[in-house]
Amino acid sequence: MDLRDSPEEARFRAQLCAWLEENIPADPEPAMLAERWPYMRDFQQRLYRSGWIALSYPTQVGGQGLGPMEEAILSEELGRANAPTLLPLGHLGRPLLRYGTDEQRRRYLPPLLASDEIWCQGFSEPEAGSDLASLQTRAVRESGAWVLNGHKTWTSYGAFADFCLLLARTDPDVPRHRGISAFIVPLRTPGVTVRPIVLANGDEEFAEIFLDDVRIPEANMLGRPSDGWRIAMDVVNYERGAVETGYLPKFERYLFELAAVARTRAREPDRATLLALGEVAAALEVLRMHCLRTLSDRVSGAPPGPESSIDKLLMTAVEQKLTALSLGLLTAATTPGRAEWFDRYLYGRAGSIYGGTAQIQRNILAERLLGLPRSPG
Ligand SMILES: Cc1cc2nc3c(=O)[nH]c(=O)nc-3n(C[C@H](O)[C@H](O)[C@H](O)COP(=O)(O)OP(=O)(O)OC[C@H]3O[C@@H](n4cnc5c(N)ncnc54)[C@H](O)[C@@H]3O)c2cc1C
């Protein structure tokens, strides 16, 4: 398929670039989340108000009614323009669109897409990460309400969120994957305690969420009872996809930054540096080709599936290679930009954990795409 811009897409790209040139904040993105959060939210709200976000969502729920090509152009141009990081939307918005009732879509999607209400993802628990199906949080139906009890952890942006898309066990008597349901939990409900987890750098990016007899209306279930596993797999497939997350243009920009650093260090960079840069460039090219294949799947209407584990592995490899290379190039602690690259390096380590670890992605590839037998035990 020809993925070059059609005349309408080229026009769309040009208008977007003009908007970005006018609207990218002049001040750099603050390093600490407490200041970065309002900065990110403000930019995202302006994008939304100008019609540049939620492009492929239907207009009835606040989207622009466009398609995956426009979404891909948006993510390319945001990356190229070094725009502020966006708050995660797609992986939580898509399941609401797909499984939500009309009433749920009308109530929750417009403010989610506008970043007026913030959502988080309550899947992991202290004893349920890779083995998510072992989650222990319970939801029991009681006189017209669901009553939730349990403990979630590693919830990204939990301390800033208004709602949580949360998984809980509703039927303990069936095989583990089948007894799980998904819920829309307003975090200001009595019985919910959100406790931020402070990272080594002082950021409060994660939170633990404690649920003690939390009563939510029956209508707050997303999908039907026991749809939880299917919904969770949709969420993670969107979360893992390179086209969905728009990391490719960001990594391209990083590579150019590093090549520029290598050039300023020496007129003729040494062989080891050239080889390392070449290795990253090759890995990035593989990721780009894979993204083009994924984009053509999206254009032909296929939603993300288990092949998004390939995206996740390729993205993580590129990010970790790039950021490790940066530490070799920006050796002196006082080199301008080193602190930022060091943060990127540390955050890059998380790439092989969030959204399912690298080992879990390989298991998915082996079992679901290659059809290899499950390992015993
Ligand atoms: C930056 C970041 C953001 C996150 N955001 C969220 C969020 O918003 N919401 C949320 O719910 N969770 C979130 N998480 C949690 C994340 O989903 C879990 O950390 C992840 O699924 C791994 O689970 P775990 O930490 O319990 O590790 P474990 O499951 O205990 O795994 C420990 C190690 O054992 C390996 N392992 C486990 N099982 C297998 C197996 N079957 N085969 C091979 N190896 C295996 C793993 O690969 C890993 O190396 C986030 C994590 C990070 C790092």
Q: What is the pLDDT of residue 168?
A: 98
Q: How far apart are CA 114 and CA 230, in angstroms?
A: 26
pLDDT tens track for 72-130: 999 889 988 989 988 877 789 999 999 999 999 999 999 999 999 999 999 999 999 99
182 CA to middle of ligand 1, Å? 19
Confidence category of residue 7, pLDDT binned at 50, 70, 90: very high
Q: Is the CB of 129 under 6 A from ligand 1?
A: yes
344 CA to middle of ligand 1, Å? 20
CATH architecture, domain 241-369:
Up-down Bundle (1.20)
Q: Is 46 left (phi over 0), alpha (psi -120 to 50) or beta?
A: alpha
pLDDT at 224 over 80: yes
Ligand 1, from 343, 354, 364, 368: best to mutate by most atoms within 8 Å of Cβ? 354
pLDDT at 212 over 90: yes
CATH architecture, domain 119-224:
Beta Barrel (2.40)
What pTM was computed for the model? 0.93
Tell me the H-state helices in the chain: 7-23, 33-49, 68-80, 90-99, 102-113, 228-240, 242-245, 247-265, 271-299, 308-329, 338-350, 358-364
Inter-residue contact 204 to 159 (CB < 8 Å): yes
pLDDT at 344 over 80: yes
Percentage of the chain exceeding pLDDT 70: 97
- Describe the chain by its helix, strand, coil percentages, rounded to 5: 50, 15, 35
Inter-residue contact 125 to 135 (CB < 8 Å): yes
> b/e for 31-60, b at 16 or more Cβ within 10 A?
eebeebbebbbebbeebbeeebbbbbbeee
Ligand 1 nearest atom to the CA of residue 132, by list position: 21
Average pLDDT over residues 155-161: 95
pLDDT tens track for 33-51: 999 999 999 999 999 999 9
Return the CATH superfamily for domain 7-86: Acyl-CoA dehydrogenase/oxidase, N-terminal domain (1.10.540.10)
Distance of CA 235 to the CA centre of its chain: 9
pLDDT at 354 over 60: yes
pLDDT at 19 over 80: yes
Average pLDDT over residues 141-164: 96
Q: What is the pLDDT of residue 124?
A: 98
Q: What is the pLDDT of residue 262?
A: 86
The better pLDDT of the pair 98, 269 is held by: 98
Pick the residue whose CA is nearest to atom 45 on ligand 1.
359
pLDDT tens track for 270-296: 888 899 999 999 999 999 999 888 888
State the chain's mean pLDDT as an integer: 92
The better pLDDT of the pair 16, 240 is held by: 16
Q: What is the pLDDT of residue 343?
A: 87
Q: Which residue has the tokens 């990010």?
A: 319
- From residue 143, give the alpha-carbon distance in Å to each of 104, 146, 218: 21, 8, 9
Q: How far apart are CA 65 and CA 142, in angstroms?
A: 40
Q: What is the pLDDT of residue 377?
A: 57
Average pLDDT over residues 302-322: 92
Average pLDDT over residues 363-372: 95
Q: Domain residues of the chain, as ranges? A: 7-86, 119-224, 241-369
Q: What is the pLDDT of residue 330?
A: 84
Rg for the chain (alpha carbons), in Å? 21
Confidence category of residue 241, pLDDT binned at 50, 70, 90: confident
Q: Is the CB of 157 under 6 A from ligand 1?
A: no
Inter-residue contact 333 to 217 (CB < 8 Å): no
pLDDT at 376 over 80: no
Inter-residue contact 323 to 343 (CB < 8 Å): no
pLDDT at 65 over 60: yes
Q: Is the CB of 134 under 6 A from ligand 1?
A: no
Q: What is the pLDDT of residue 332?
A: 67
pLDDT at 259 over 70: yes
Ligand 1 nearest atom to the CA of residue 355, by list position: 17
Q: Is the CB of 352 under 6 A from ligand 1?
A: no
Distance of CA 343 to the CA centre of its chain: 18
Q: Is the CB of 130 under 6 A from ligand 1?
A: yes
Catalytic (active site) residue 239? yes
